[in-house]
C-alpha cells in the first residue's frame, strides 16, 4: 500500500483532481519525485524492450543511460528549493532526448511509439500552459527533424517510410492539441475554483473580523465597548504598576438621554451620541482613552504621572465638554454626571476600578452634583440602603412594622388631646432602623404607598378601638410628600374611613413643610379633597423650608407644627423666641392652631404657654410608646391632671 502512495497523487494530478492554481515549492518536490518513480521504471523497461528487440539495442542503451543520469539528477535536485525548476526541466530534457533518440534510431516505429506521445502531457503538467506549450513545440520540431532530416544528416539514423512520417506527424499534432486543450480547460477550472475559494475565504475573513469588531466595539461610535475596555484597563493597570503611575477612571453618564432619544428619534440620537463621543475624545485628546459602556454611559481612562490624585485636570476637561449640540437644526442640551475612581488608591484590578467609578457616578447623581470621587463610606451607606430596601419590602408584607404613639398636650388645660403615630421598625438582622433612615428608602423605592396605607389602616384601627374604650383623642398621621401626589389617595382614604367607621375630623394629616416648596396641581386637589372629607391638615417641621404663611392661605391648612429645632434654640436665643412668637401670632390671625414639638422642659412649656401656643408635644410629657402602653399612660395622665386641678 505504501509503495502505491506516490502513484495516487499522480492519478489525481493527471485527472485534474488536484485543483491548484500555483504550486508551492513544497508541492512541486513530490510532483518531480512521483514523475521519477514513474519515468525511471518505464524508461528502463522501454530500454530493456528495445535492447532485447533485434535491431534496437543502441536506443535501448541510450534510453537507459540518459534515464539514470538525468532522472537521477532531477531526483537529487528536487531536494533543493532553488533547483526545483531545473529538476523539472531535466525531466523534460530526458523525455525530449529519449523521444529524439527513439525517433532517430527508429524506435518511434517500434516500441517507442507507446511513449513518445506522452511528452506534451508531461510538459504541460510540469511547466504549466505557457512553458508546457513551448516545450511541446520544441519537442514537435525535434521529432519532425528526427524523422524527416535525421537520416540525411546522421548515417546511423533510421529512414522512415513517407506514409509513416505523415501518420506519426498527424498523431504528434493531435496529441499535442489534446494535451493543450485538456490542460487549458483544467487550468480554467482550477482558476475558477481558486477564485471562488479565495472569495469564500475573503468573505469568511470579513465576517469573522466584523464579528470580532461587534464583540469588542460599540457599533454607533466605533469606541471600544465594555469587554474591550476591561482588556485595555487591565493593560493600563499593568503598565501603571510597572512605572509607578496613577490611573484615573471617569464614568460619565449623559443625563436624560432616553427622553432626548424619544424626542429626536433613533437616527438623530445615534448622531447625537457620535457628536458627544467626538467632542469628548477631542477634548481629552491623547491624555485619555474612551469607551462606550452603555447606551448613555462612557468611561475614560486618564493616565497620570504622579501619585497624587489631583482632580483639577479632570474637572477642567469635564467642564470643557460642550453641552449644546445641534441635531437636525434642533439645539439639544445634554448634561452629564461623572464619577471618578483611581488606581491604586481605590482598586487594583480593572473590574473593581470600573465598578467603583460607576459607584462614584451614582454618588454624584444622588447628591445632585456634576462630579464625585469614589467614597467608601458612601458606598457602604448605599449598600445598607439596598439591604434595607429588600428587608423593608419583606417586613411590610410580613407585618414586622409597628406604630408608636406620642401624646399631644393642650397647653391651656394640660389634657392629653391627641397622639402622633410614629412608625417603628426593628429588623431581626439590622436591628432598630430609624424612620429617618427607612422612610426616604420607602419613598425612593416606591414602597411608600404600601407603607402609608399600612400606617393609616393601623392608626385608624387604633383610633376606633380607643374611641370604643371611651378614650377621646385625635390621631396625627405623617403623610409623605410622595403620597400627596398619588391620584388614588382620596379613594383609598375614603374606603378606610368607611371600613373603620371613624369621623375624619379625628384625624390630623401632617405634611412636612418641604413638600409645599413646589406644590403641583394633583397635590392641591388632593389637599382640597381631604379637607372636604373632614380631615385636618397640618404643616409639619414648620420654619425649616422658609414658606411664608400667607402663601399657605389657600391650602385649607388647620394646624402648624413649629419645628423642634426652635425649641432647642429658644432657651438661649432671643431671636428664636421672637420667631416662634411671631409665627404663633400670625398663625392665630389665619385661624390656625399651633403645635410645638420637641418640648423637653417645663421652662420651654412655660414659655410656649406665655406665647399663647395651643398644643405641645415632647419628651417633657412622654416619649413615643406602643399603643397599649400609651393608653395606660394617657389614662393616668388625665387622672393625675384632675387630681392636680382639684388640689
Ligand atoms: P416628625 O414627624 O417631626 O416626628 C417627630 C419626631 O421627633 C419623632 O421622631 C419623635 O420621636 C421625635 N421627638 C418627639 N419629641 C421629642 C423631643 O422632645 N425631643 C427630641 N429630640 N425628639 C422628639 P421619629 O419617631 O424618629 O421620627 C422621625 C421622623 O420620621 C418624623 O418626624 C417623621 O417625619 C418621620 N416619620 C415617623 N413615622 C412616620 C410615618 O409613619 N410616616 C411618615 N411618612 N413619616 C414618619
Ligand atoms: Ca410629624
Ligand atoms: Ca416634626
Q: Quick one: 155 exposed, middle or buried, by C-beta within 10 A (0-12, 13-18, 19+)?
A: exposed
| Minimum mean pLDDT range among 211-220, 393-402, 561-570, 591-600 | 211-220
In the DSSP assignment, the letter for residue 419 is E
pLDDT of residue 57: 76
Whether the pLDDT of residue 320 is over 70: the answer is no
Beta carbon of 600 within 6 Å of any ligand 1 atom: yes
Beta carbon of 543 within 6 Å of any ligand 1 atom: no
Cis peptide, bond prior to residue 140, ω within 30 of zero: no
pLDDT of residue 436: 93
Ligand 3 centroid–CA 518 distance in Å is 19
Beta carbon of 565 within 6 Å of any ligand 1 atom: no
297-304 vs 401-410, strand pairing mode? unpaired
The CA dihedral of 173, 178, 179, 185, to the nearest 10 degrees, is: 140
Beta carbon of 164 within 6 Å of any ligand 1 atom: no
pLDDT of residue 10: 59
Cα separations in angstroms, 226 against 218, 351, 355, 518:
9, 10, 12, 40
Atom of ligand 1 at shortest range from CA of 404 = 25
Average pLDDT over residues 390-417: 94
Ligand 2 centroid–CA 176 distance in Å is 112
403 backbone dihedrals φ, ψ, rounded to 5°: -115, 135
The cell 487594583 sits on which residue? 348
pLDDT of residue 334: 87
Band the pLDDT of 316: cuts 50, 70, 90.
Answer: low
User: Which of 456, 476, 478 should be mutated for ligand 1, with most atoms under 8 A from CB?
Assistant: 478
User: Please, where are the H alpha helices in 501-611?
Assistant: 521-533, 564-570, 574-589, 602-611
Beta carbon of 103 within 6 Å of any ligand 1 atom: no
The cell 510532483 sits on which residue? 31
| Residue range 120-166, pLDDT digits in tens | 888 888 887 788 888 999 999 998 888 888 878 877 778 888 888 88
Assessment of whether the complete model's pTM goes beyond 0.85: no
User: Please, where are the H alpha helices in 217-256?
Assistant: 226-243
**Nearest ligand atom owner, CA of 598:** 1
Whether the pLDDT of residue 219 is over 60: the answer is yes
Percent of the chain past pLDDT 70, that is, above it, reads: 91
Ligand 2 centroid–CA 366 distance in Å is 25
| Residue range 14-51, pLDDT digits in tens | 554 444 445 677 778 887 888 888 888 888 887 887 77
Contacts of 309 (CB under 8 A, 6+ apart): 246, 248, 342, 345, 373
Beta carbon of 455 within 6 Å of any ligand 1 atom: yes
Ligand 2 centroid–CA 563 distance in Å is 9
- Residue with the smallest CA separation from ligand 1 atom 12 is 598
Residue 440 DSSP SS3: helix
**Nearest ligand atom owner, CA of 510:** 2
Amino acid at each position: 500500500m505504501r509503495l502505491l502512495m506516490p502513484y495516487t497523487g499522480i492519478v489525481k494530478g493527471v485527472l485534474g483532481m488536484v485543483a491548484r492554481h500555483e504550486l508551492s515549492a513544497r508541492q512541486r518536490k513530490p510532483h518531480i519525485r512521483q514523475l521519477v518513480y514513474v519515468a525511471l521504471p518505464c524508461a528502463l523497461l522501454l530500454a530493456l524492450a528495445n535492447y532485447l528487440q533485434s535491431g534496437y539495442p543502441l536506443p535501448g542503451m541510450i534510453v537507459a543511460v540518459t534515464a539514470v543520469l538525468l532522472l537521477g539528477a532531477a531526483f537529487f535536485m528536487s531536494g533543493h528549493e532553488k533547483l526545483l525548476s531545473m529538476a523539472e526541466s531535466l525531466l523534460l530534457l530526458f523525455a525530449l532526448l529519449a523521444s529524439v533518440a527513439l525517433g532517430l534510431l527508429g524506435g518511434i516505429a517500434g516500441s517507442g511509439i507507446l511513449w513518445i506521445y506522452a511528452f506534451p502531457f508531461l510538459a504541460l503538467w510540469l511547466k504549466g500552459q505557457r512553458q508546457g506549450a513551448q516545450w511541446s513545440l520544441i519537442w514537435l520540431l525535434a521529432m519532425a527533424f528526427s524523422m524527416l532530416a535525421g537520416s540525411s544528416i546522421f548515417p546511423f539514423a533510421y529512414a522512415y517510410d513517407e506514409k509513416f512520417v505523415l501518420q506519426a506527424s498527424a498523431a504528434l499534432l493531435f496529441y499535442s492539441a489534446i494535451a493543450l486543450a485538456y490542460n487549458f480547460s483544467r487550468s480554467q477550472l482550477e482558476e475558477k475554483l481558486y477564485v471562488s475559494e479565495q472569495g469564500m475565504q475573503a468573505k469568511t475573513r470579513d465576517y469573522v473580523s466584523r464579528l470580532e469588531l461587534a464583540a469588542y466595539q460599540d457599533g454607533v461610535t466605533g469606541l471600544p465597548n465594555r469587554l474591550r475596555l476591561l482588556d485595555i484597563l487591565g493593560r493600563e493597570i499593568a503598565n501603571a504598576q510597572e512605572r509607578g503611575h496613577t490611573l484615573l477612571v471617569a464614568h460619565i453618564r449623559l443625563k436624560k438621554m432616553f427622553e432626548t432619544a424619544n424626542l429626536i428619534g433613533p437616527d438623530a440620537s445615534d448622531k447625537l451620541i457620535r457628536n458627544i463621543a467626538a467632542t469628548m475624545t477631542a477634548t481629552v485628546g491623547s491624555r485619555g482613552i474612551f469607551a462606550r459602556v452603555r447606551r448613555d454611559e462612557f468611561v475614560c481612562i486618564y493616565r497620570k504621572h504622579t501619585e497624587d490624585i489631583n482632580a483639577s485636570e479632570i474637572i477642567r476637561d469635564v467642564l470643557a465638554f460642550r453641552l449644546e449640540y445641534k441635531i437636525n437644526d434642533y439645539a439639544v442640551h445634554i448634561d452629564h454626571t461623572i464619577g471618578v475612581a483611581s488606581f491604586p488608591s481605590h482598586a487594583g484590578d480593572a473590574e473593581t476600578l470600573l465598578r467603583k467609578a460607576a459607584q462614584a457616578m451614582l454618588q454624584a447623581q444622588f447628591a445632585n452634583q456634576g462630579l464625585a470621587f469614589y467614597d467608601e463610606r458612601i458606598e457602604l451607606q448605599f449598600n445598607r440602603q439596598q439591604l434595607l430596601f429588600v428587608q423593608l419590602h419583606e417586613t411590610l408584607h410580613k407585618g414586622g412594622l409597628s406604630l408608636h404613639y406620642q401624646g399631644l398636650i393642650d397647653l391651656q388645660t394640660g389634657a392629653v388631646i391627641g397622639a402622633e403615630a410614629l412608625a417603628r421598625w426593628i429588623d431581626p438582622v439590622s436591628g432598630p432602623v430609624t424612620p429617618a433612615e427607612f422612610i426616604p428608602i420607602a419613598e425612593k423605592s416606591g414602597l411608600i404607598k404600601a407603607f402609608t396605607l399600612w400606617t393609616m389602616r393601623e392608626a385608624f384601627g387604633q383610633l376606633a378601638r380607643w374611641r370604643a374604650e371611651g378614650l377621646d383623642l385625635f390621631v396625627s398621621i405623617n403623610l409623605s410628600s410622595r403620597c400627596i401626589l398619588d391620584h388614588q389617595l382620596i379613594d383609598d382614604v375614603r374606603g378606610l374611613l368607611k371600613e373603620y367607621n371613624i369621623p375624619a375630623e379625628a384625624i390630623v394629616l401632617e405634611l412636612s413643610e418641604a413638600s409645599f416648596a413646589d406644590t403641583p396641581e394633583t397635590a392641591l386637589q388632593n389637599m382640597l379633597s381631604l379637607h372636604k372629607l373632614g380631615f385636618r391638615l397640618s404643616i409639619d417641621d414648620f420654619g425649616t423650608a422658609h414658606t411664608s404663611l400667607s402663601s399657605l392661605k389657600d391650602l385649607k391648612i388647620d394646624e402648624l407644627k413649629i419645628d423642634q429645632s426652635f425649641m432647642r434654640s429658644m432657651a438661649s436665643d432671643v431671636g428664636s423666641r421672637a420667631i416662634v412668637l411671631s409665627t404663633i401670632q400670625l398663625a392665630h390671625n389665619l385661624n390656625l392652631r399651633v403645635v410645638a414639638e420637641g418640648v423637653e422642659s417645663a421652662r420651654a412649656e412655660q414659655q410656649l404657654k406665655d406665647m399663647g401656643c395651643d398644643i405641645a408635644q415632647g419628651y417633657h410629657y412622654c416619649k413615643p410608646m406602643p399603643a397599649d402602653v400609651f393608653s395606660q399612660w394617657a389614662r393616668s395622665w388625665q387622672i393625675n391632671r384632675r387630681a392636680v386641678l382639684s388640689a
